[in-house]
Amino acid sequence: MDLDLKGRGVLVTGASKGLGRAAARALAGEGADVLAVARTEASLRKLAEEPVLGKIHPYVCDMRDRAQVAALADVAVERLGRLDVVVNNAGIAPAANFLEMDMAVFDEVMEINVAAIAVLSQAAGRRFVEQGSGGRIVNIVSTSGILGKAALAAYSASKGAAIQLTKALAAEWARHDIQINAIAPGAFSTEAQAYVTGNPDILAKRVRKIPARRMADPEEFGPLVCYLSSTKAKFVSGAVYVIDGGETAKQ
C-alpha cells in the first residue's frame, strides 16, 4: 500500500533512540522528510546518516524548554519546506516509590510528557490551520497510561493525561481536517528496557505476563506510526492504538 508519505514534512521528537528512532527511520523509509529532534546530537547525526528513501534532518532541542518546543513547528517548515505530521514521542519514566518521590521529579515528568506535547501540538495545529491543508499528530503514550504501574505513578499519570489530551484535541480540531491519535506501546526491546532484557530471570518473568510470550522489536512499531501519519487515515482520529502483544487485553 502506498501511504503517500513521499515528500511529506514530519517532525519526530525523542528520535535519537528507541521507539522514536524506529518511527523516524520508518517514516523516512516511506519517503518522508523527517526533522529528528532530541537532546543528543551525536545520536541524531548517526541516525541522519542511515540510508533511507527520504531524508532525516537532525535537530537538538531540550523538551523542558517551552520556548524551544514552541519553535519546533517553525523550524520544521524552515528545514523541510513544509509540516504535515508531528510525532510526539519524547518522554521520561523515572521509577520511584511515590511516598519517597521528590515532587520536582513529578513536575519534570509532567513537563516533558504532557506540557511539551501540548505546546508542540498547539504550535503545529496553528500551522496546519494556517496552511489550510490539515495535518496529523501522533502521540506516543503507554499502556501505563491505561492500566497504571507501581513505581511509575508520575509516568502513568502523565500518559493518562496525554491520552485525554489526544481525545480532546481530536474532537476540537476535526473540523480543520487535523487528525490526532495515540499509540500505547507495551514491552519493546529498547535501550530503556536494558535492565529487563539483560537479565534472563527478569526477562522470563516479564515475558510470562505477555500473551505473545515475547517483547516486541522496535521495528514492529514503525508501520503503525506510518499509517497514522498518512492520508489513508484521514477519518481516524481520537483513537488509542495499543501495541502490546495482548497484555492489556487480558486485564
pLDDT 10s digits, 180-238: 999 999 999 999 898 899 999 999 999 999 999 999 999 999 999 999 999 999 999 99
Question: Exposed e or buried b for every residue in 143-178, given b needs 16+ CB within 10 A?
Answer: bbbbeeeeebbbbbbbbbbbbebbbebbeebeeeeb
Largest CA-CA distance found in the chain, in angstroms, rounded = 54
Active-site choice (59, 155, 195, 227) = 155
Q: Which residue's entry shows cell 495499543?
A: 242
Q: Decide: pTM greater than 0.85.
A: yes
Q: Which tens digit of pLDDT belongs to each residue from 31-59?
A: 999 999 999 999 999 999 999 999 999 99
Residue 138: closest CA among 117, 159, 161: 117
Q: Which tens digit of pLDDT belongs to each residue from 115-168?
A: 999 999 999 999 999 999 999 999 999 999 999 999 999 999 999 999 999 999
Residue 241 appears among annotated catalytic residues: no
> For domain 9-250, which architecture applies?
3-Layer(aba) Sandwich (3.40)
Q: What are residue 81's phi and psi, to 5 degrees?
A: 90, -15
pLDDT at position 65: 98
Q: What whole-number distance in Å separates Cα of residue 220 and Cα of residue 200?
A: 22
Q: Which residue's entry shows cell 502523565?
A: 158
pLDDT at position 212: 97
